[in-house]
Amino acid sequence: MLFLRTLNLGVKSLLLHPLRSLLTVLGIFIGVASVIWLLAISEGISLEAQRQIESLGADTIMIRSVKPPNEKMATQGVTPYGLTREEYEMLVSTIPTIKSAIPIREIRRQFQYESRTIDGRMVGCTPEYAEVTRLVIDRGHFITEAENFNTVNVCVIAAKLAAKLFPYEDAIGKRVYVPENTDFYTVVGVLKDRGASAAIGGSMDSQDFSNDIYVPIKTLQLRIGDVVVRNSGGTREGEMLELNQITARVDNVANVRSTAAIITNALASHDFMEDVAVVVPLELLEQARTTRLMFMVFMGLVAAISLLVGGIGIMNIMLATVTERTREIGIRRALGAKQADIVLQFLVEAAVLSVVGGVVGILAGLFCTPVVIQAKWFASEYYPTIFKSLPEVVRNLTPAIVPESIPIAFFISIFIGIVFGLFPAIRAAKMNPIDALRHSN
Amino acid sequence: MIHACSIRNLKKEYVLKSETVRALRGVSFDVPEGDYVAIMGPSGSGKSTLLNLLGCLDKPSSGELLLGKDNVAHMSDNQLAEIRSRRIGFVFQSYNLIQQLTVVENIEVPLYYQGRLGAKERKRCIELAERVGLGERLTHRPTQLSGGQQQRVAIARSLVNDPYFILADEATGNLDSKTTAEILALFDELNDEGRTIIMVTHEDDVAARAKRVVRLRDGLLQSDVMNDPLARKAAAAHALDPVVETADEQAMHQPTTAPAN
């Protein structure tokens, strides 16, 4: 009852100067909202990164061919580099912890159907590829063992590519034309849409699977071969590459690191070109978690600074209030207020300011996700060129509110009110009541 | 006999830089219950110091100061605050109401610091507001009241804790003569009801209304005389004489509207 009265009095006193109180609240509001927003955005980014890495699979190891720097390539003729089928056989047959492994060959090609042409990626693989990379078939079927063995000209196409190449008809049974090799591939399956995966190898961009066509690797070997020759600017450049990637699945997640080390050693002793990179998604995942932690600490620091500024605002206003209400303090002391009563009175006012700021800030924080999504939609709708030039992280951003950030923000705001209100409150209480009564205002 | 207040050889010294100011140099007198004392004296006589000591706002350097049965001379800051909230009724020259509170809430303030707030206390505050003639203005703020009305609120507030004495510091100093007369009449009534009043003033016609006049000079008691009861009645009657109001005085009756900043 008594405390309610103190609270009521505090609110009344603050309402004597509504604009001033509002501006003070604004400082805390911005601080608290920024805590929640910054944490939500960093959490959103890291969740997306983790999802991408997890989609690679924690029990997989990727061995990729890396094109050697130009000075190591022959200026004339064809330079062979990268993983070979022989190496693939060696890894599969000699390392017992590898449960299964998929050889992958990727080539950029144009695909045509009737008048429509699309630049995309032809991926030669084995039937296990769908399972290891978690591809989901929408219609038809994925490449079968028989199709691979018999080097049949069939293909499975990604959802977006299907939509672009066959906008008005069912792709199944149609034949996709590859002009560079004058070949036709019959579509036997269409995949469901698949999100991007984390970057592996050289590029920072995440892997995009939206323009992929999957064909049996043996068919690709037969129809296209290992040698790629490019004519450019009067010179012919050729390179010979048997496999772009081997994706190995390990029998147990605990064996991933040791297996990766064995693979690295085995390939290093077999090949002196340093043209192979071993990527372990598990390590990427752990890296991403560390990055997330650092990001959160950094964001927290930024938010803490804005809260500090808000707190100083409260202290400033409370000091002004105390000076302005010296007379009132004197009256209250004369009428029986103890020093503790005066401290409490001004602390309550400071706490009311910061808690109101905190609660409104939390409410604003909860709107983070819809606001960011709307903002992204607005940008993509009205400023598409600017939006496209934004980094991929920003374009894909969906903030995820960290549940702990809400109580934390609330208690921080109370804490700030008390900490920054204490000094002015004590100063008020320490005033000599006689001088305070004589104070003219 | 219990005295509302009893002072024995009260001294107060202030140290200002290297100089020691002896504001009170040994003052002794008693105020019996039901008395009405005016304390007078030129500036520098020590009357403000005495007022602060009587009001428990300050501690004496030496001597005894008894309020009722409480010896307040050696009390701590918190104990003095307790005495102020329970046993002293202040009435100030500039009313000293709290701007953000209503009439009733202002009267309640001493009870608030005693931790006594309830329906019973609220009823008592309303009764006191009615007693001083402000029953119609319970929810008004001080800025909506005239000076005389504000002083009435202050008087009601000084009565709320059933004090040993009402300590009035130049209570009519800011009021015009008509309002002064009204306030002094209210003091007379309260004194007739048995309330003890100690009033600091420098106006002779205000002091003439008290039962007794204590004069200080240079920190010492100069005189302590009883007013002639007949002279008091004459002064009271004279104060109620119709006065021709000037325009200025009329303006003073209007509610003051202090600018809120």
pLDDT in tens, B30-79: 999 999 999 999 988 988 899 999 999 999 999 999 988 888 888 999 99
Closest Cβ–Cβ partner in B81, B92, B96 for A337 = B81
Q: Does some domain include residue B246? A: no
Q: Letter for the amino acid at B51?
A: L
Using CA atoms, how far residue A330 sits from B57, B80, B98, in Å, is 10, 14, 10
ipTM of model: 0.88
In a domain, B201, yes or no: yes
| 3-state SS record for A253-282 | HHHHHHHHHHHHHHHHHHCCCCCEEEECHH
What residue numbers bound the domain in which B12 lies? 3-241
Which chain B residue has the Cα nearest residue A330? Answer: B96
Mean pLDDT across chain B: 87
* Residues of chain A numbered 13-52 and touching chain B (CB < 8 Å): 13, 15-16
Q: What are the pLDDT digits (tens) for A278-308?
A: 888 888 878 888 888 888 888 888 888 888 8
Quick check: B90 pLDDT over 90?
Answer: yes
Check if the beta carbon of residue A277 is closer than 8 Å to that of residue A201. yes
Chain A residues in contact with B81 by the CB 8 A cut-off are 333, 336-339, 341
Is the model's pLDDT at B213 over the cut of 90? yes
Would the CB atoms of A335 and B57 count as touching at under 8 Å? no
A320 interface with B at CB cutoff 8 Å: no
Which of these, A404, A319, A350, lies nearest to A27 by C-alpha position?
A350
Smallest CA–CA separation between B115 and chain A, in Å? 7
Instruction: Supply A140's token pair.
Output: 């038809």
User: Own/partner pairs for B74-82, CB < 8 Å, 24+ apart?
Assistant: B77/A338, B77/A339, B78/A338, B78/A339, B78/A340, B80/B56, B81/A333, B81/A336, B81/A337, B81/A338, B81/A339, B81/A341, B81/B113, B82/A336, B82/A338
Closest partner CB to B113 (pick from A1, A327, A335): A335
CA B68 to chain centroid, in Å, comes to 17
Contact B101 A12 (CB under 8 A): yes
Residue B132, domain member (yes or no): yes
Residue of B nearest to A15 (CA): B100
Asked if pLDDT for residue A181 goes beyond 60, the answer is yes
pLDDT value at position A154? Answer: 94
Within 324-363 of A, beta carbons closer than 8 Å to B belong to 327-328, 330-341
Is the model's pLDDT at B247 over the cut of 60? no
Name, in order, each residue with C-beta under 8 angstroms of A76's C-beta and a sequence gap of 6 or more.
none
In whole angstroms, what is the distance from residue B260 CA to residue B216 CA?
A: 40
A13 min Cα distance to partner chain B (Å): 6
pLDDT for position A429: 93
Whole-angstrom distance, CA of residue A157 vs CA of residue A175: 11
pLDDT score for A203: 45
Percent of chain A with pLDDT over 70: 93
Within 13 Å and on the Cβ side, how many CA atoms surround A159? 11
Residue B249 placed within a domain:
no
Q: Is the pLDDT of residue B197 over 90?
A: yes
How far B238 CA sits from the closest chain A CA (Å)?
33
Q: Is A198 exposed, middle or buried (0-12, 13-18, 19+ CB in 10 A)?
A: buried
pLDDT, greater one: A394 or B127: B127
Which among B84, B98, B101 has CB closest to A336? B84
Average pLDDT over residues B118-137: 91
Residues of B in contact with A437 (CB under 8 A): 57, 92, 96
For residue B199, is pLDDT > 90?
yes
Q: Which positions in chain A touch B115 (Cβ < 8 Å)?
A: 2
Residues written for chain B: 261
Chains A, B: CB contacts within 8 A come to 73
The yes-or-no verdict on residue A329 having pLDDT over 80 is yes
How far apart CA A308 and CA A420 sit, in angstroms, is: 9
Q: Among A131-135, B149-153, B240-244, which stretch is predicted with the lowest mean pLDDT?
A: B240-244
Q: Which two tokens stand for residue A296?
A: 């959160």
Of the listed ranges A56-70, A90-104, A377-391, the one predicted with least confidence: A56-70
Contact B30, B93 (CB under 8 A): no
Instruction: Identify the helix (H) or strand (E) that includes residue B87.
Output: helix B77-87
pLDDT tens-digit series, residues A343-391: 999 999 999 999 999 999 999 999 988 998 898 889 888 988 888 888 7
Q: Assess whether pLDDT exceeds 90 at residue B215.
A: yes
SS (H, E, C) chain A: CHHHHHHHHHHHHHHCCHHHHHHHHHHHHHHHHHHHHHHHHHHHHHHHHHHHHHHHCCCEEEEEECCCCHHHCCCCCEEEECECHHHHHHHHHHCCCEEEEEEEEEEEEEEEECCEEEEEEEEEECCHHHHHCCCCEEEECCCCHHHHHCCCCEEEECHHHHHHHCCCCCCCCCEEEEHHHCEEEEEEEEECCCCCECCCCCCCCCECCCCEEEEEHHHHHHHCCCEEEEEECCEEEEEEECECEEEEEECCHHHHHHHHHHHHHHHHHHCCCCCEEEECHHHHHHHHHHHHHHHHHHHHHHHHHHHHHHHHHHHHHHHHHHHHCHHHHHHHHHCCCCHHHHHHHHHHHHHHHHHHHHHHHHHHHHCHHHHHHHHHHHHHHHCHHHHHHCCHHHHCCCCCCCCCHHHHHHHHHHHHHHHHHHHHHHHHHCCCHHHHHHCCC
A236–chain B Cβ distance below 8 A for any pair: no
pLDDT at B150 (0 to 100): 94
Name residues whose C-beta falls within 8 Å of residue A8's C-beta, 6 or more positions apart in sequence: none
Query: How would residue A241 be classed by pLDDT, with cut points 50, 70 and 90?
Result: confident
B90 → closest Cβ in A13, A15, A335: A335
User: In CATH, what number is assigned to the domain containing residue B147?
Assistant: 3.40.50.300
Would B118 be classed as within a structural domain? Answer: yes
Q: Report whether A210 contacts A161 (CB < 8 A).
A: yes
Is residue B248 in some structural domain?
no
Q: Give chain B's domain count.
A: 1
Is B167 in a helix, a strand, or coil? Answer: strand
Q: Do B85 and A337 touch (CB under 8 A)?
A: yes
CA nearest B81 in A: which residue? Answer: A336
What does the angle CA A151 – CA A153 – CA A154 come to, to the nearest 5 degrees? 110
Nearest-CB residue to A336 (from B85, B117, B260)? B85
Q: Is the pLDDT of residue B28 over 90?
A: yes
Average pLDDT (B75-97) is 92
Residues in chain A, overall count: 441
Q: What's the confidence (pLDDT) of residue B253?
A: 57
Q: Which of B58, B85, B117 sits opposite A335 (nearest CB)?
A: B85
CA distance A8 to A20: 18
Mean pLDDT for chain A?
Answer: 86
Contact yes or no for A333 and B78 at CB 8 A? no
Facing B90 at nearest CB: one of A2, A334, A339: A334
The 10s digit of each residue's pLDDT in A113-146 is 988 999 988 999 999 888 877 788 889 999 999 9
Q: Do A334 and B57 touch (CB under 8 A)?
A: yes
Q: Is the pLDDT of residue A198 over 80?
A: no
Please indicate, yes or no, if residue B15 is contained in any of the structural domains: yes
Judged by CB atoms closer than 8 Å, whether chains meet at A338 and B112 is answered as no
> Residue B82's closest chain A neighbor by CA?
A336
Q: What is the pLDDT of residue A272?
A: 60
Q: Do B58 and A434 touch (CB under 8 A)?
A: yes
More confident position, A148 or A388: A148
The per-residue pLDDT for range B152-178, each reduced to its tens digit, is 999 999 999 889 999 999 888 888 888
pTM: 0.71
Question: Strands B220-226, B212-217: parallel, antiparallel or unpaired by DSSP?
Answer: antiparallel
- pLDDT computed for residue A19 by the predictor: 92
Whether A75 has a pLDDT exceeding 70, the answer reads: no
Contact B77 A338 (CB under 8 A): yes
For residue A89, what are the contacts with CB-CB under 8 A and spacing of at least 6? Answer: none
By three-state DSSP, how is residue B92 classified?
A: coil
A437 touches chain B (CB under 8 A): yes
| A308-321 pLDDT per residue, tens | 888 898 999 999 99
Query: Phi and psi for B18 in degrees, rounded to 5?
Result: -95, -5
- Contact criterion met (CB below 8 Å) for B203 and B168: no
pLDDT of residue A100 exceeding 90: no
Q: How far apart are CA A321 and CA A310, in angstroms?
A: 16
